[in-house]
Amino acid sequence: MNLLLLEDADFVAADRVVLRDRRLKHMQEVHRAEVGDSLRVGSIGGLLGSAELLRLEAHEAELRITLDSAPPAKLPLTLLLALPRPKMLRRVFQTVATMGVPKVILLNSYRVEKSFWQTPFLEPQAIREQLILGLEQARDSVLPEIIIEKRFKPFVEDRLPELVKDTMGLVGHPGNFPACPRAVTGPVTLAIGPEGGWIPYEVDLLTKAGLQPVQLGERILRVETAVTALLARLF
């Protein structure tokens, strides 16, 4: 936790918060904070700043907050992601929040097991928890938007072309395709497949919707590693 993220409900006055949960524990056990210490904070959806620890007790802490600086810029990116397996999904939520992805669309795909859609990690509160861990890591305060699209074909045929318009559309796919471009400047729409990859029919539909297949070399990466590697190369 490189940043203490504050919820609206934490505020007891315009410049005061009281914390009682894992953030209190983290201050006590990891930061080993003491009264008078200054901590980096951010208001979820708002500014970053600093907090002075006014009072620290076993079950709560009170801090005086000054919010004065903008969070880091997001990447100009919409990320389409075939739904990963649940354990990977949680880490991917953290990774996209850390890397600064503003918008993620979770898609179905032939190689996404049906059971993956049943995971409790897709519940809004569970998604939010992982995103917040990722934002705390990166020192960002703005939650990415997570959109769930369980039907591949209608989404890709009917709505994707509009999203891709005026962006560089890319689909990561191993094979005899151009290498993923580097250091792009404009907005990108990037699709990353499931373990085992997209099937040819899906690559076809994604291509028709305006995404060009690109590859990252012959090594097959886990989804989380592929997300990080593609973003680090693109931006």
Question: Looking at 17-25, 108-116, 133-141, 149-157, which segment touches a copy of itself (CB under 8 A)?
Answer: 133-141
Which residues ranging from 80 to 99 are in contact with a copy of itself (CB under 8 A)? Answer: 94-95, 98-99
Selected from 100, 172, 210, 213, the binder of a copy of itself by CB under 8 A is 100
Establish if 220 lies at the interface with a copy of itself (CB under 8 A). Answer: yes
CB of 95 or CB of 108, closer to a copy of itself = 95
Enter the DSSP assignment of 70: P
Q: What is the dihedral of CA 132, 136, 140, 142, to 10 degrees?
A: 10
Establish if 108 lies at the interface with a copy of itself (CB under 8 A). Answer: no
Establish if 183 lies at the interface with a copy of itself (CB under 8 A). Answer: yes
Establish if 143 lies at the interface with a copy of itself (CB under 8 A). Answer: no
Judging by beta carbons within 10 Å of its beta carbon (0-12, 13-18, 19+), is residue 178 exposed, middle or buried? exposed
Residue 40: CB atoms within 10 Å? 14
Residue 221: CB atoms within 10 Å? 16
> Which residues, including other chains, have CB under 8 Å from residue 27's CB and lie 6 or more apart?
4, 19, 33, 39, 53, 56, 61
Establish if 10 lies at the interface with a copy of itself (CB under 8 A). Answer: no
CB of 194 to a copy of itself, least distance (A): 13
Q: What is the C-alpha separation between 70 and 89, in angstroms, rounded?
A: 28
SS (H, E, C) 122-171: HCHHHHHHHHHHHHHHHCCCCCCEEEEECCHHHHHHHHHHHHHCCCEEEE
CB of 64 or CB of 85, closer to a copy of itself = 85
Q: What is the C-alpha separation between 213 and 174, in angstroms, rounded?
A: 8
Question: Looking at 15-23, 146-154, 203-211, 212-220, which segment touches a copy of itself (CB under 8 A)?
Answer: 212-220
Extract the tokens encoding 94: 């953290």
Establish if 189 lies at the interface with a copy of itself (CB under 8 A). Answer: no
- Tell how far CA 76 is from the center of its chain: 13
Which residues ranging from 21 to 60 are in contact with a copy of itself (CB under 8 A)? Answer: none
Selected from 56, 65, 170, 231, the binder of a copy of itself by CB under 8 A is 231
CB of 155 to a copy of itself, least distance (A): 28
Establish if 72 lies at the interface with a copy of itself (CB under 8 A). Answer: yes
Selected from 26, 85, 128, 233, the binder of a copy of itself by CB under 8 A is 233
Binding-site ranges for a copy of itself (CB under 8 A): 2, 72, 94-95, 98-100, 137-140, 182-183, 216-222, 225, 228-233
